[in-house]
Amino acid sequence: MDFGEGLRKALAKLSGATIIDAKTVREFSKELQKAMLSADVEVGLVFEFTKRIEDAALREKMPKGVSPKDYVTNMVYEQLVSMMGMGYSPEIRPKRILLAGMYGSGKTTTAAKLAKFYQDRGLSAGVICCDVTRPAAYEQLETLAKQANVSFFGMKGEKDASKIAREGAEALKDRKVVICDSSGRSALDEELIEELKGINGVFRPDEKFLVITADVGQVAGRQAAEFDKAIGIDGVIVTRLDGSGRGGGALSAVTVAHAEIAFIGTGEKLGSLELYDSKKFVGRLLGVPDLEGLLESVQSAIKEAQIKPEDMENAELNFETFYTQLKAMSKMGPLKNMLGMMGMADVPKEALEGSEAKLKKYGNIIGSMTKDERRDERLVRDGGRMRRIAAGSGTTEKDVRELLNDFNKMKKFANMFKNNRDFRKNISKFMPKV
């Protein structure tokens, strides 16, 4: 169970409560402690946190018209935001950035993500491969740089990281933002410290970020303190928050170590790097919709998929426009992240995996259609065409028929929504208010 799921389950037990008394608060506190400890939040911090919740819940009078669940949820939200630190607002200006961290922390992928982040904001970007210990580091960063459409510099076979950093900075001097990816180790030893100090001396970074994977839990705090003491760090980037139940422990530990969380990685795609905002992050943990984040993600995906929004607004729904929408959705990262932004984080894992597999299959089927077939789904009902499409997409005729049925249901709903003003009005009652 991940941290957010544990918190939401603890809060769900308050749904039937009509009053907040000592017994209710004690029982809730125990559930909250279980959720936090399972997320590897430090024990002392857990008990300090739940004590504050207990004291506030029993001391303050619950406002009229507010349910116990909403009342306590707001308390938990405010205390978690305080525990998880503040948000980060980077200066969008020319700069040099050095990334450091242990083996397997995700530095190389993060370097490309960070370069894309700044390039998407109008600053030309480049990356330098100064990882001289991992054999595949050069090829990996070169490939990622190409995917992100940013410049790359490396010296294959060179073992002097300082030399690569110096020549890379010169080669990429026309880039506004240059990011240096360094070597990792299984521990912060003297060799790594000296290597990082050497790079630091010739590269002269404006910012130094420590990259930490969320699954290290509360160890993240110790790593932040050690790297800061060794080379000085300006902030921390926490990766793999989408796949770790110990993310709460990592984030809280970094904050307790007085380090600033700058970015969080929420997936493998190059766009899956977010500015850290504790309010948004805690809101998602508690199942509060993040409509602003969802809108930003949609706009970024549309831009990356090279779709003109005006082309989609009044377009007729057919397989061609549906295929375009599927391509945009694929750029937004895991379906779990999107649903989390919509406040629907507790969709069963089996349903999520089934939905993602179905969308991928439908994309393959539509990709095997001709242009005429995409524009007129009736053509696909022809037996010969259906067999050809199934064979070309690696699916079965049954799968193609399933797509046709689902698509027609979707089209019927879209037409109903478009043409029936009363229906739109009724549906809007259930839409989140912005």
Tokens, residue 239? 């990766």
Q: Is the pTM of this model over 0.85?
A: no
> Rounded distance, CA 340 to CA 283, Å?
10
Return the SS3 of 320: helix
Maximum mean pLDDT: which of 1-15, 191-205, 234-248, 392-406: 191-205
DSSP letters for 267-290: SSSTT-EEE--HHHHHHHHTT---
Pairing, β 177-182 against β 125-130: parallel
Q: According to the model, what pLDDT value does residue 72 have?
A: 85
| Mean pLDDT over each residue of the chain, to the nearest integer | 83
Asked if residue 434 belongs to a domain, the reply is no
Same-domain check for residues 274 and 319: no
Residue 353's pLDDT band, with cuts at 50, 70 and 90, is: low
Coil vs helix vs strand at 211 = strand
Q: What is the pLDDT of residue 296?
A: 56
Helices 3-12, 22-38: axis angle to 10 degrees equals 170
Which residue, of 228, 255, 285, is where some domain finishes? 285
CATH code at position 62? 1.20.120.140
Do 147 and 255 reside in the same domain of the chain?
A: yes
Contact 188, 227 (CB under 8 A): yes
- Which secondary structure element, helix H or strand E, spans residue 129, and what is its range? strand 125-130
Q: Please tell me which of 62-71, 139-148, 327-336 the model is most confident about, judged by mean pLDDT.
A: 139-148
Structure tokens at 389: 């499409």
- Give domain status of residue 208, yes or no: yes
Q: Do 57 and 115 fall within a single domain?
A: no
Q: Rounded to whole angstroms, how far apart are CA atoms 352 and 342?
A: 14
Cβ atoms within 10 A of the Cβ of 270, count? 21
Question: Lowest mean pLDDT: which of 122-136, 250-264, 266-280, 420-434?
Answer: 420-434
423 and 375 in a single domain? The answer is yes
- The C-alpha atoms of residue 301 and residue 307 are separated, in whole angstroms, by 9
Bridge partners, 176 (sequence order): none
Q: Does 90 reside within a domain? A: no
* Residue 432 in this model has a pLDDT that exceeds 50: no
DSSP code string of 321-344 = HHHHHHHHHHTT--HHHHHHHTT-
Co-location of 111 and 237 in the same domain: yes
Give CA–CA dist 397/420, Å, rounded.
34
CA–CA distance, 126 with 111 (Å, rounded to integer): 9
The pLDDT assigned to 413 comes to: 63
Confidence of residue 317 (pLDDT cuts 50, 70, 90): confident
Domain assignment present for 67: yes
Task: State the residue range of the domain holding 383.
Answer: 291-428
Q: How far apart are CA 331 and CA 365, in angstroms?
A: 19
**pLDDT beyond 60 at 175:** yes
Q: Coil, strand or helix: which one is 264?
A: strand
Q: What is the mean pLDDT of residues 56-71?
A: 79
Looking at the structure, tell me whether residues 144 and 122 fall in a common domain.
yes
Q: Are residues 224 and 295 in the same domain?
A: no
| Domain identity same for 136 and 40 | no
Structural domains in the chain (count) = 3
Could you tell me if residue 420 is inside a domain?
yes
The stretch 331-346 carries a mean pLDDT of: 55
| Same domain (yes/no): 247, 371 | no
User: What is the per-residue burial (b if ≥16 Cβ within 10 Å, else e) of 294-331?
Assistant: beebbebbbebbebeeeeeeeeebebbebbbbbbbbbb
Domain end marker among 251, 285, 319: 285
d(CA 418, CA 13): 40
The CATH number of residue 161's host domain is 3.40.50.300
Average pLDDT over residues 75-85: 87
Is 42 or 336 the better-scoring residue by pLDDT? 42
pLDDT confidence of residue 424: 45
Task: Tell me which range, 148-162, 242-256, 335-349, is most confidently predicted by mean pLDDT.
Answer: 148-162
My answer on whether 338 and 404 are in the same domain is yes
3-state secondary structure of 127: strand
Whether 324 is covered by a domain: the verdict is yes
Q: Which of 285, 304, 328 is the last residue of a domain?
A: 285
327 within a domain of the structure (yes/no): yes
One-letter amino acid at 92 equals: I
Summarize the confidence of residues 130-156 as an average pLDDT: 96
Sheet holding 125-130, edge to edge: 151-153, 125-130, 177-182, 95-101, 207-213, 235-239, 261-265, 273-275
If you compute the radius of gyration of the chain from its CA atoms, what whole number of angstroms results? 25
Least confident of 29-38, 286-295, 364-373, 391-400: 286-295
Do 13 and 134 belong together in one domain? no
What burial class does residue 421 get, using C-beta atoms within 10 Å of its C-beta: 0-12 exposed, 13-18 middle, 19+ buried? Answer: exposed
pLDDT given for residue 294 in this prediction:
47
Question: Are 209 and 262 within 8 A, CB to CB?
Answer: yes
Average pLDDT over residues 180-195: 93
Q: Report if residue 336 sits inside a domain.
A: yes
18 versus 327: the higher-pLDDT residue is 18
Phi, psi of 263 (to 5 degrees): -135, 160
Q: How confident is the model at residue 428 (pLDDT cuts 50, 70, 90)?
A: very low
Q: Which domain CATH number covers 341?
A: 1.10.260.30
The two structure tokens encoding residue 254: 């970094």
What's the pLDDT tens digit per position in 3-31? Answer: 888 888 888 888 777 788 888 888 889 99
329 and 272 together in one domain: no
